[in-house]
Each structure stands twice: as C-alpha cells, then as structure tokens.
Structure 1
Amino acid sequence: MSKHDSAGAAEAVDSLPAETPPVPERLMSGLRQAHAEASAALDLRDPVEAVHDLRKGFKRLRALLRLAALAPDRAVAHTARGLRRALAKTARQLAQARDTAAREDALDDLVAKAGLSGGARRAAARALGPAPGAGQGEGVGRHRAGLESQLTQFAEVLPRLGAAVDDKALVDALADEYARARRTGRAVDAEDEESLHELRKAVIAQRYQMELVSPLWPALGQVWVDELQRLRDKLGKHHDLAVLRALVEARPPRAGRPPLWRTELLDAIRARQAKLARSSLRLHARLFAEKPKAFRRRLSAYMSAVSERK
C-alpha cells in the first residue's frame, strides 16, 4: 500500500468532529469485529491464508461502511465513503496471492459439477499455473507497514462512525442496501458476466450487513444470512470461472489444432456458468421477493419488539 493511500485514509479520519454522542451498539460491534478480523490476519504466517483473511475482513468493513455512508451526519457519511474506497484499493493490491487457489478451486468445481475429465484438469493446471519457483505471492509483504497504519487510523475513527447510526438510522440504511441488491439482481442479464459480478458485490455487502440484525430473531436471521452466503458462493464460483476462462483465452494455442484440454475446459466453463447463473437468479428472486418498504417495516417491528422487552 502506498503512502498516498495511507494519507487518504488519514485525511478521511481527520474530517470528522472530535466530539461524538454515545456509541450505538449494533454497527459499532460489527465494525469492531471486522477490524479485529483484518488485524489478526496480519499475524498469520501463511501468505495465502493471510491475504484471504485480510480481504475477508476488508469486505466486512466495506459492507458496514456502506451503512455508515448513509448516516444522517454528512461528515460521517463522507468519511465512510472515503475509507471504503481506500479499503477497496488496498484489497485489489493484495489479490495476487489468492489467484492460484481460486484457479484450483474453479478447476475442481468443473470436475465435480460439469464433467471435466481428470486428464483435462491436470493439463489445464500445468498450462495455466505460475512458472516454477514463482510461488503464490508474497502475502501482505511489502504492504504490511501501510496496512498496519491504515488499520490503526480506522480503529481511531470507528467509534465515531458507529455513533452516527442509531437503530432507526440502521434500519433505514439496511432497507436502502436491500433495495439496491434487489434492483441489481432484477436488472441482471444471465449471460452478462459484469452484471452478475455487480450482483455478487451487492450480495456480499448484504450478507455482512444482515449479520447486524440477525440476533433480533436468531432462527430466522441465521437462515437469511446462510441463504445469502449460498447465493454469494454461487456467484463467486461464476466469477472465478469467468477469470479462468479469460486466462485460457489470453493464451491462444500455438499453430495447429488447440490441445484437447482447452476445448473441453472452455465447454465445461460455459455449461457450468450457465447453470450457476440460472440457479443464482432463482435464489435471488426468492430472497428478495419482499418489497423494500415491507422489508423496512419488518425490521422496524423486530427492533421494536426487542427494545420493548429490555
């Protein structure tokens, strides 16, 4: 991570007022958990595992920062948007260490679900894998100092972000994010990888956001989060296959007939992506059948019921 990125995060933090009201519990708890998850990843020795956990923590933070970005306080909203952009940029810089594992997972999925032969899978892995000795990336490596600085800055500002979103504002923000994910899914073209990728990002955010309120009705809330995770997994597999196909097509065969594994692999990718897209959109339609206003009323009722029992 560059000094410019750290400076950008620091500038966002400094834009908030020094005094804030008492911190509401729900968003603050989620922000602390996500920050702790990202911070713990820096201590992991395995570079791929470290990057995976760090990116996961960042995704959770970015999802919750989307809620803070809808806070009534404009300074808080502005800061949350700036921090979310900084996290997204840092996550992109750390993506390389995950590439090999994602490619292997995609090939395994094709063998299990699309009938790709073991021979084609092994040939593809050899042809598409990193050069001998290239490894799987340096993990956080040279980004460590910048990451530690960025996470320290976030720790300082997170209480002020959480303080700006009380239960009423949280319900409003969750309903707005639900409506966004609903619209995104309804506009998806099943054959358009980019629109499916945008839906995946909206579902990831919704999955982490709904964890904040799942304790209001644990039995129902956990089912909702689990189903969002299932949808996320389907869309994630679709995306990994899109990356795999792009990698294959970026390496055109040499003169003559293409190797048999290449044709078999591309056919399997197309078939598997089509099935994943169809099942993803069916699941999305069920999860997001409720209209946003009804969703907001339901969350408000859950929140009121819990508050009345205190």
Structure 2
Amino acid sequence: MAYRLRPAEPFTAEVRAVARDQLAKAIDYLEHQPDGPHEAIHDARKRFKRVRALYRLIEPGNPDFQARENARIRDIAQSLSAVRDATALVETVHYLAGFTASPEESKALQIAHDALAARRDRIATEEHDLPARMLAAAQGCREAMAALDQLELPDAPRKTARLLGRAWRKHLRKAHSALDACNDHGNAETYHDLRKCGQTYWMHLSLLRDIWPSAMLAKQAECKTLIDLLGHEHDLSVLTAAINEQPGLFGNGDTLARLLAAIINRQQILRRKASDLAHEILAERAEVESSLIDLLWQRAAKAPAGKQRGNNRNAGSPQQESALRSAR
C-alpha cells in the first residue's frame, strides 16, 4: 500500500490501513532480515518514522492516541539504535572523504574510518541480545497494530479537512521557528530541529499528495533535498561529539585537528545550502498553507472516484497558485 491518504475514502479506515502497512513492513524486516540484521533495523526504523509522522498529522483528532502510540513507536526504535548509530558514524566519515582538501586530511579520515569501523564491530559483537530485542520490537509493532482498532477520527470531509489544516499549521509553525533559531543561533541542536521538521513535512506532503499531486510532489522533492543536506549536517555533529568524547580513539593532535577542520568546513557549506533552501520551501505563511490544505482536502473528498488526481494535477485558483508557488 502506498504511503498516502485517499481523500474519497473514510478517513479513520485510511489512517489505520496506512499505519498497519508500515508496521507490517517493519515486522517483516525485523523477522526475516533479508539483508542482515543491521540493515533490517535501519529499514524498520524508517517505517517507524513514517508511522510517527502519520500520528502527528492526526493529533488534533485524537491527541491521547497520538501521545500514547507515538511514545510506543519511539521506544521501540530506541531499543534498536546502538549498532545502527555506530554504523552511521562510519558512513559519515566515508561521506566526508569525498570532500578532502589534502592528502594529510585524507589520511586523518582514513584513521578515523578504521577506528570507528573497529568500534562498530566491537559493539556488534557485544550485542548478544540483539536477536531478542528485534523479536521484542516486532511484537511491539503487533501491539501497535492492535491498538489501531481503538482509533476513532472524524470521517466527515469538512471535519477531516479542519483536523488536517490544524495539524499542518502546527507543524509548519514549528518548522518556521526552527529555521528562525538556525538564523539566530546556528548550533547543532537548532539544525537538528529543522531536520526533524523537514522530515515530518516531507512525510505529510507524501500522505496528502493526492489533493494536488503536481504541486505536492514537486515540493516533496525539494524537501527531500533539504532533508539530505540536514542529514549530513547532523551526522557531522554526531561525529564531532564522538571525537570530543573519545579523542584518543582518533590518533594524535595533528590527526584530530585535520579531522575537525574537515568537519567544520563541510558543515558550514551544508548549513548555508540548507538555510537557503529552507527559506524557499517555507516561504509561505503557515496560516495560508494550512487553509489551502483544508480547502484542497474538501474538494478532493467530494470529487468523483478516479478523477481526483486528474482534477487536481494542474488545476488551482490564483490564490492556490500563489500559496504553493514555492513548489514550482
């Protein structure tokens, strides 16, 4: 099942179906592990992020359910994080090696790569309980699927549209605040907050893409670029923290200096690019865009079956065109 909500279908049933599909895929990864346990964990955690984003979108309609089930999925994901986080550090050094400025810097990155790879392998060896934790996570997913039987949301198009508009406005305001904080402070935490907002926005665009496919998909592509930039930026911040916590792992002072210089240089470039792109993506006020989501959902929900995508692909009033011009 595609990761999207169909406006012409009963809203509660659609939300349940999308969440169950993502949770079922996570269970399949955790139990069958087609590419090994660590890749299975990585794939399952991506499904968890999608479920949590879906629950944020429906929060105004059932805040108790959202709070409880978001916490459940968050805890399941955190129970599987250790080796994946260690692997991500190795991947970050490999990424950084593509932008080296000198042979000395390349050597420093190779030393860091070898040290972090050995650390990853050591953590993996020590995780004797990983199979049990993966089975427990799969069971947690089944419990989350069962909990969906209790979910009730407004199915009337107007009420659903109002719910979606409220959620859209809340998360866009949060994204605007995160971008303002990046402009004011520009530290690792603020950029990480912006990244999380970008991920949520990307998933919400995917979930509601049927209400105006051309605009939503175009904006989603821009948002994916932003997420990738901020993802690399965050990985470099995590790498910096690892170096500060265990400097002896990375060699002598010269090696550390070159390693940190490579991180800072790349991070500055990523932050500039991400900030410029975020300003383009978030050019419209939250109130305007959320109102548009409300109107588009109502229109799509009333459209004849099979005609929603065609009707919304290129249509739009001048006000709608203006509100989504950043998606063009």
Greater share of helix: 2
Q: Mean alpha-carbon deviation: is it higher for 142-151 or for 191-200? A: 142-151
Give the aligned residue type for 1:200: R
Task: State the 1:192 CA deviation.
Answer: 0.9
The corresponding residue for 1:10 is none
Q: 1:35 to 1:163 in 2, by over 3 A?
A: farther
TM-score between the two structures when normalised by the length of structure 2 = 0.77
Give the aligned residue type for 1:89: D
Q: 1:30 to 1:115 in 2, by over 3 A?
A: farther
In structure 1, stretches of 5+ residues that fail to align are 1-21
Task: State the 1:259 CA deviation.
Answer: 4.6
The corresponding residue for 2:137 is 147
The corresponding residue for 2:40 is 50
Task: State the 1:134 CA deviation.
Answer: 2.1
Alignment partners' CA distance in 2, 1:258 and 1:186: 38
Indicate conservation of the 8 Å contact 2:195/2:227, yes or no.
yes
Alignment partners' CA distance in 1, 2:154 and 2:179: 29
Give the aligned residue type for 1:258: N
Task: State the 1:162 CA deviation.
Answer: 6.0
The corresponding residue for 2:313 is none
Task: State the 1:65 CA deviation.
Answer: 1.4
1:175 has 2:169 as partner:
yes
Q: How does 1:1-310 map to 2 (within 5 A)?
A: 23-24=11-12, 26-42=14-30, 43-45=32-34, 46-71=36-61, 76-115=62-101, 117-131=105-119, 134=122, 136=124, 138=127, 140-161=130-151, 163-164=153-154, 166-188=160-182, 189=184, 191-253=186-248, 258-310=252-304
Alignment partners' CA distance in 2, 1:306 and 1:23: 13
Alignment partners' CA distance in 2, 1:94 and 1:169: 33
Q: Mean alpha-carbon deviation: is it higher for 277-286 or for 122-131? A: 122-131
Task: State the 1:286 CA deviation.
Answer: 0.9
SS in 2 for 1:163: coil
Give the aligned residue type for 1:101: T
Indicate conservation of the 8 Å contact 1:60/1:208, yes or no.
yes
Indicate conservation of the 8 Å contact 2:59/2:66, yes or no.
yes
Indicate conservation of the 8 Å contact 2:164/2:294, yes or no.
no
What percentage of aligned pairs have identical amino acids?
24
Q: Deviations over 1:251-285 (max 9, x none)?
A: 2349xx93533211100101111111121111111
Q: Deviations over 1:114-163 (max 9, x none)?
A: 53643222111123333596264659522134223321221122254363
Q: 1:134 to 1:107 in 2, by over 3 A?
A: same
TM-score between the two structures when normalised by the length of structure 1 = 0.81
Indicate conservation of the 8 Å contact 2:72/2:144, yes or no.
no
Task: State the 1:109 CA deviation.
Answer: 2.2
Indicate conservation of the 8 Å contact 2:86/2:119, yes or no.
no
Indicate conservation of the 8 Å contact 1:103/1:244, yes or no.
yes
